[in-house]
Amino acid sequence: MSQPRVLLAGNPNAGKTTLFNRLTGSSARVGNYPGVTVECSAGTLRCDDTLSVTLMDLPGTYSLSARSPEERVAVDAMFASGEAAPAAIVVVVDALALTRNLYLALQIMETGLPVIIALNMMDAARDAGLAIDSDLLSAGLGVPVIPISATRREGLPELRAQLARTLHAGGAAGEVPVVRYPGAVEAAVATVTPAIAAFKPDASPQAARALALWALLSLGDDELVAIPSALRDAAASARARAEESATDLDQAVIAARYAFLEEVVESAVTRPSAQRRTFTDKLDALLLHRVSGFVVFATVMYVVFEALFSWSEPMVGVIEGGVVSAQDMVNAALPPGALRELLKDGVIAGVGNVIVFVPQIAMLFLMLGFLEDSGYLARVAFLIDRVMARVGLHGKAFVPLLSGFACAVPAVMATRTIESRRDRIATMLALPLMSCSARLPVYVLVIATIFSGEERVAGVFSPGALVLFTMYLVSTLATLGAAAVLRRTVLKGPRPALVLELPPYRRPEWRTLLRSTWERVRSFLVDAGTIILAISIVLWALLTYPKSEEVHARYEAQRSELASVADESERASRLEQLDAAEAGEQIRKSAAGRVGLAIEPVLQPLGFDWRIGVGIIGAFAAREVFVSTLATVFGISAGDEDATPVREALANASHTDGRKLMTPLAGLSLMLFFVFACQCMSTIAVVKRESGSWKWPMLMFGYMTTLAYVVSLAVYQLGSAFGWGLG
């Protein structure tokens, strides 16, 4: 049975998410609109005993006019045909900014679709001394207006009852508000209306008129696709005609709508005689102040960072422990063989690779949701926009970039708060250059290998700390540089203006926060998780197969010799050494080992050999895996907690011609390679998920790998030419 569809529309921060959750309870599911990466939640709403509807959440927007495919989602949902055609539209309106919120409602009413206005935030309006006569408002607009407070659940039964009445009335279109447009606008509408048939053939005459107005406002400088050329031509010629008579059509249409709304609002709203300083005004005086504002800003950002970096650590530990015990269980339950290895090292380890991100994602989205719903995120953008604008990014890119220091995966997901697609993708493609926490074990290993720890520069600084600091500095500069370059090249476009609303401060609701956080986690597990799992298994297979029977037979022979060793623990440790040594020889024969050997000539100019190459291939699963892969390559039994044996092996390793492998110069080159290279399948998977196509992650992988190669090459070659660091 298919239920009637009802759409929920509204300005950002009008309380749409809160109302949606209240009305649909636990039935909500999140999906994507076809073709675009715009999310849409849908859930079941029971109006009365006989009537249930599917409530669909439209993206929060100030108007229906559209320049990009994402902004067009609302219009397409309203004019969907057949099953998907909406039976009614509920517009959530913030009572505290009534006229501006009604602008969107008016645009929707003009289509002739049945509209119900949910006048939200009535509690806050009362507190502010604002009296709104909803009957007068309803009479003036010609649609039902139901005063509600979504957080306090006030007016929700009335809203349900009204929806039932509207739908039982057969969805008969309400009166269409009579906005008096000037003659030039009417002439333009008359020119464009006939062309609407080619765009939305099912549109009623009323809807065609509304769509003609939509086309006049939207077309011209847009990036919309699948707009019939007849419609484009008609809109262009109407605009040209209006220009001849010196009429700005955009302004004429918008001003006529506001004039209509002002008259209605004026009749229905009584304002307090004296304006009080609101809570938001007082708090902003503190939070946007040039001193206290930055103190709070720095504190908040520090908390976000700390939570990502350290608070999630215990949970990550639990997950890693769980993976190990699951592997032990499989080990005990199955006989040795290919199946056991596949389950243990391929599947379970791969699942571990996915869920290990969950604590950080949950942590970041809880905090981001809090910042966004409270209204502070907009203030963050306000405070820091000056800096971000320099590299062509939006002020809202700051939190994702900062999160990139912890992990690119949640950080990429956090770019959703940025509305403009270009800004969002530029941020997403640049932020994996931020030095994430998974790079740290690599830096630490290399630094410990090339420096003794006792040396000091200028008496106080240890060279290791200086090098580490330099890596973070280089990565930050590279991120900002990459963003600037991306915005001027592949993502070039009109610099979108910052038009940012600073909403009143409001108390976020835990339920809403937890729910949207869970949605983020779920969509990560489902969409990006499957890709990560698949790549994990492929990588494991590459590092494991083919196996050499000859090598295996040789080690088996040595193992059987051990049977004569009497001492139990002595035998166990000898066996372990043999296992590690065999793994070291086997990895050389594996596909990854062969690739490592094959690309050695390409790596040698950077100061690497095939073993480092195999480590880099393994690190694609996650950068810190570099350390354990190297352990395997060197035939060391992998001690996860202690990297000392790897460090010693690395320090003693030499090239085939006897030169030392890890000179300080080669170490520097290796660290820089890790700063720049996109050595992380999870980042790639999540960028695919968030950008909606493989094109962007491929571009990211391409530019980062090229950058890594060129920088390491330049450093190693210049360094060698000047003769430093060869010792």
Partner 1 sequence: MAPTLPVEQLDSVPVGRSATVVSVACDRATARRLMELGLLPGTRVDVVRVAPMGCPLELRVRDSALSIRRVEAARVAVQLLPEAAPVRPAVSPSVGHAAR
Ligand X SMILES: Nc1nc2c(ncn2[C@@H]2O[C@H](COP(=O)(O)OP(=O)(O)O)[C@@H](O)[C@H]2O)c(=O)[nH]1
Counting residues that bind partner 1 (by CB under 8 A) gives 59
Q: Which stretch binds partner 1 (CB under 8 A): 81-89, 214-222, 304-312, 360-368?
A: 214-222
- 185 makes contact with partner 1 (CB under 8 A): yes
Which among partner 1, Mg ion, ligand X, none contacts residue 120 (Cβ within 5 to 8 A by kind)? ligand X
- 227 makes contact with partner 1 (CB under 8 A): no
Q: Which listed residue (20, 199, 357, 382) binds partner 1 by CB under 8 A?
A: 382
Smaller CB separation from ligand X, 18 or 449: 18
Tokens of 21: 């959750």
Please tell me the distance from the alpha carbon of residue 337 to that of residue 327, in angstroms, as a whole number. 14
Q: Which listed residue (96, 307, 617, 643) binds partner 1 by CB under 8 A?
A: 96
Residue 464 exposure: Cα atoms within 13 Å on the Cβ side: 15
Tokens of 308: 């990502």
Q: Which stretch binds Mg ion (CB under 5 A): 14-22, 333-341, 362-370, 642-650?
A: 14-22
Peptide bond before 546: cis, by omega within 30 degrees of 0? yes
Smaller CB separation from partner 1, 258 or 545: 258
Q: Which listed residue (288, 316, 440, 565) binds partner 1 by CB under 8 A?
A: 288
Residues numbered 273 to 312 that lie near Mg ion (CB under 5 A) are none
Smaller CB separation from Mg ion, 17 or 24: 17
Which among Mg ion, ligand X, partner 1, none contacts residue 217 (Cβ within 5 to 8 A by kind)? partner 1
Q: Which listed residue (220, 481, 645, 692) binds partner 1 by CB under 8 A?
A: 220
Please tell me the distance from the alpha carbon of residue 507 to that of residue 283, in angstroms, as a whole number. 13
Instruction: Calculate the alpha carbon distances from 382 to 137, 297, 377 in Å.
Output: 34, 11, 9
Contacting residues for 451 by C-beta, under 8 A, at least 6 apart = 462, 463, 464, 467, 664
Q: Which stretch binds partner 1 (CB under 8 A): 132-140, 146-154, 378-386, 584-592?
A: 378-386
Smaller CB separation from ligand X, 39 or 600: 39
- 506 makes contact with partner 1 (CB under 8 A): no
Please tell me the distance from the alpha carbon of residue 617 to that of residue 629, in angstroms, as a whole number. 9
Which among partner 1, ligand X, Mg ion, none contacts residue 241 (Cβ within 5 to 8 A by kind)? none
Q: Which listed residue (37, 80, 85, 294) binds partner 1 by CB under 8 A?
A: 294
- 322 makes contact with partner 1 (CB under 8 A): no
Residue 562's nearest CA partner among 572, 550, 552 is 572
Q: Which listed residue (3, 37, 44, 99) binds partner 1 by CB under 8 A?
A: 99
Rg (CA), the chain: 31
The secondary element (H helix, E strand) that includes residue 90 is strand 86-94
Tokens of 543: 């590092």
CB of 64 to ligand X, least distance (A): 16
Smaller CB separation from Mg ion, 19 or 64: 19
Please tell me the distance from the alpha carbon of residue 75 to that of residue 706, in angstroms, as a whole number. 42
CB of 512 to Mg ion, least distance (A): 8
- 279 makes contact with partner 1 (CB under 8 A): no
CB of 372 to Mg ion, least distance (A): 7
Q: Which listed residue (170, 337, 494, 601) binds partner 1 by CB under 8 A?
A: 494
Q: Which stretch binds Mg ion (CB under 5 A): 13-21, 283-291, 317-325, 470-478?
A: 13-21
Using CA of residue 7, residue 10, residue 12, residue 17, what is the dihedral sign? negative
| DSSP structure string for 398-418 | HHHHHHTTT-HHHHHHHGGG-
- 12 makes contact with partner 1 (CB under 8 A): no
Q: Are 56 and 63 in contact (CB under 8 A)?
A: no
**DSSP assigned state of 621:** S
Which parts of this chain interact with ligand X (CB under 6 A)?
10, 12-18, 60, 120-121, 123-124, 149-151, 373, 506, 508-509
Which among ligand X, partner 1, Mg ion, none contacts residue 258 (Cβ within 5 to 8 A by kind)? partner 1
Residue 542's nearest CA partner among 635, 629, 638, 602 is 629
- 111 makes contact with partner 1 (CB under 8 A): no
- 171 makes contact with partner 1 (CB under 8 A): no
Measured in degrees and rounded to the nearest 5, phi and psi for residue 276 equal -90, 155
Tokens of 611: 């073993």
Contacting residues for 586 by C-beta, under 8 A, at least 6 apart = 544, 547, 548, 551, 552
The secondary element (H helix, E strand) that includes residue 52 is strand 52-57
User: CA 163, 165, 171: angle at the middle one, nearest 5?
Assistant: 80
Please tell me the distance from the alpha carbon of residue 295 to that of residue 78, in angstroms, as a whole number. 46
Smaller CB separation from partner 1, 18 or 65: 65
Residue 363's nearest CA partner among 321, 409, 323 is 409
Q: Which listed residue (59, 155, 503, 593) binds partner 1 by CB under 8 A?
A: 503
- 17 makes contact with Mg ion (CB under 5 A): yes
Please tell me the distance from the alpha carbon of residue 722 to that of residue 336, in angstroms, as a whole number. 53
- 391 makes contact with partner 1 (CB under 8 A): no
Which among ligand X, partner 1, Mg ion, none contacts residue 97 (Cβ within 5 to 8 A by kind)? partner 1
Instruction: Calculate the alpha carbon distances from 272 to 129, 521, 547 in Å.
Output: 5, 45, 82
Chain residues that interact with partner 1, rule: CB under 8 A = 62-63, 65, 67, 96-100, 103, 180, 182-185, 217, 220-221, 247-248, 250-256, 258-259, 262, 265-266, 271, 275, 280, 284, 288-290, 293-294, 378, 381-383, 385-387, 389, 494, 496-504
